[in-house]
Amino acid sequence: MKKGADRKHSFWMLFLIFLVLVAFYIGLSVKFDDLNVFSKAFMVLVFGWLFYYSYKKSNEQFYLASLIGVGLYVALINSFGTSYTGESPISFNLVLGSWMLFAISLFFTFLAVKWYENSKRKSKFPLILFVFYVLIWIILSINVTHFEDWKLENYLTIPFLVLLFIVYRWFRLSNISYGLIFAYMILHIIGTHYTYSEVPFGYWMSSLFDVSRNHYDRIVHFSFGFLLAYPLREVFFRIGKSRGFFGLYVPVEFVLAFSAIYELLEWLIAVLFGGDLGIAYLGTQGDVWDAQKDMALAGLGAIISMLVVAFVNLSYRGKEFWKEFKDSFKVKSAVLGEKALSKWESKK
């Protein structure tokens, strides 16, 4: 039984490595269409070796290497892959070739892997991830397309990171959650580097699927639900003791709630600043139903994420998970309103 479970686990981990490499190859295709297929394949295989090496050491090390490797390379090619023509005060007229960008990202990813291997600290995973996120944020803060819009977009990014850092000591999330948050934040700051409606990956998708709109913002809203529903589930599981059905349902509800709050903030900021800056921040691209579609995609991402969680629980916990699911519908206390009123009456 254990051998069968190990084989299934190995299959899924190798499949994840494959998906990471496909994402890496697509990134190369979007930014460096002049690279031939053999050059792209070589780069992918080298990173593939590093990811596989990390996987053989531990799943956690592979998780760290893939997040940092892909995130760092994407940041470098977006800031230094082409010549800069904007007017940002934080700019360098420096263009690096595809092989140089590949070598730099490979070196720093290898450095992160070795740091993880040699560190004895229990908090090494979130610490390394945090350090490299700050590095990636700094890289993507250089040569931004619209500096004023970039500042607006980061008014929420920096407080969120500070909050994570502050609460770490008394409420540490799992490494899985920190990795998912890292992945989402990378997607977000790529959008802030260009403004969401001008990200090259969105134009590449538009060309591929023959659509007129840049859909990068849709991807990020979907990712908000898909990547952040699990960290939210962890919070409610540990603080609110949400179990069974409600452990899957409540994260979806909060994703939709946070999406609605964000859309209201977008509307407020656009009204306050107005003009081209407000339009750039909204990024509706002429779609009157943009806010509703964004919220729907976030909800869909959260539902898919929770279905994955349910599938994993069924695979590894089976009967225990079903029992927990059914027990979550049982009423465990008296009607609270009447109980509170009768207490108040007796005191009166």
DSSP codes of every residue in 196-252: GGG-HHHHHHHHHHT-SS--HHHHHHHHHHHHHHHHHHHHHHHTS---HHHHHHHHH
Instruction: Report the pLDDT averaged over residues 31-43.
Output: 76
213 located within any domain: yes
Query: Is the pLDDT at 182 greater than 50, yes or no?
Result: yes
Q: Residue 283: pLDDT band by 50, 70, 90 thresholds?
A: low
346 located within any domain: no
Q: Which of 260, 263, 188 shows the shortest CA–CA distance to 271?
A: 263
Instruction: Report the pLDDT averaged over residues 179-208.
Output: 86
Q: Which of 142, 49, 167, 20 shows the shortest CA–CA distance to 91?
A: 142
Tally the domains of the chain. 2
341 located within any domain: no
Query: Is the pLDDT at 9 greater than 60, yes or no?
Result: no
Instruction: Report the pLDDT averaged over residues 227-236.
Output: 92
Residues 21 and 138 in one domain: yes
Residues 209 and 115 in one domain: no
Which pLDDT score is estimated for 105? Answer: 92
The least confident of 22-26, 51-55, 309-313 is 22-26
275 located within any domain: yes
Q: Which of 112, 106, 102 shows the shortest CA–CA distance to 81?
A: 102
Which pLDDT score is estimated for 272? Answer: 73
Q: Residue 336: pLDDT band by 50, 70, 90 thresholds?
A: low
CA 199, chain centre distance (Å) = 17
Which pLDDT score is estimated for 112? Answer: 95
Residues 98 and 160 in one domain: no
Residue-wise pLDDT tens digits, 239-275 = 877 788 888 999 999 999 999 888 888 777 777 766 5
Instruction: Report the pLDDT averaged over residues 311-334.
Output: 80
Instruction: Report the pLDDT averaged over residues 28-35.
Output: 68
DSSP helix/strand/coil, 342: helix
The least confident of 9-23, 50-64, 233-247 is 9-23
300 located within any domain: yes
Interatomic CA distance for residues 321 and 31, integer angstroms:
45
Q: Which of 162, 303, 174, 318 shows the shortest CA–CA distance to 234?
A: 174
340 located within any domain: no
Residues 178 and 30 in one domain: no
Instruction: Report the pLDDT averaged over residues 278-285.
Output: 57
Instruction: Give the chain's mean pLDDT.
Output: 82
Interatomic CA distance for residues 167 and 126, integer angstroms:
13
The b-or-e profile of 146-184 (16+ CB within 10 A means b, else e) is beebbebbbeeeeeebeebeeeeeeeebebebbbbbbbb
Query: Is the pLDDT at 346 greater than 50, yes or no?
Result: yes
Q: Residue 28: pLDDT band by 50, 70, 90 thresholds?
A: low
348 located within any domain: no
Residues 187 and 256 in one domain: yes
69 located within any domain: yes
Residues 125 and 40 in one domain: yes
Residues 88 and 211 in one domain: no
Interatomic CA distance for residues 13 and 7, integer angstroms:
10
Residues 134 and 170 in one domain: no
Residues 298 and 150 in one domain: yes
Name which residue leads in pLDDT, 206 or 348. Answer: 206
Residues 139 and 156 in one domain: no
State the amino acid at position 281 in one-letter form: Y
Instruction: Report the pLDDT averaged over residues 64-85.
Output: 88
Interatomic CA distance for residues 131 and 115, integer angstroms:
12
Residue ranges of alpha helices (H) inside the chain are 2-31, 37-57, 59-80, 98-118, 124-140, 147-167, 175-194, 200-209, 216-238, 244-273, 275-282, 290-317, 319-327, 336-347
Tokens coding 194: 């260009």
Q: Residue 280: pLDDT band by 50, 70, 90 thresholds?
A: low
Name which residue leads in pLDDT, 124 or 262. Answer: 124
Interatomic CA distance for residues 198 and 205, integer angstroms:
12
Which pLDDT score is estimated for 1? Answer: 42
Which residues form the domain of 163?
A: 145-332
Query: CB-based burial of residue 143 (10 Å sphere; 0-12 exposed, 13-18 middle, 19+ buried)?
Result: buried
Interatomic CA distance for residues 75 and 96, integer angstroms:
12
Residues 254 and 108 in one domain: no
The least confident of 100-109, 228-237, 240-249, 339-348 is 339-348
Instruction: Report the pLDDT averaged over residues 187-213.
Output: 81
Count of C-beta atoms within a 10 Å radius of residue 142: 17
State the amino acid at position 80 in one-letter form: F
Residues 112 and 152 in one domain: no
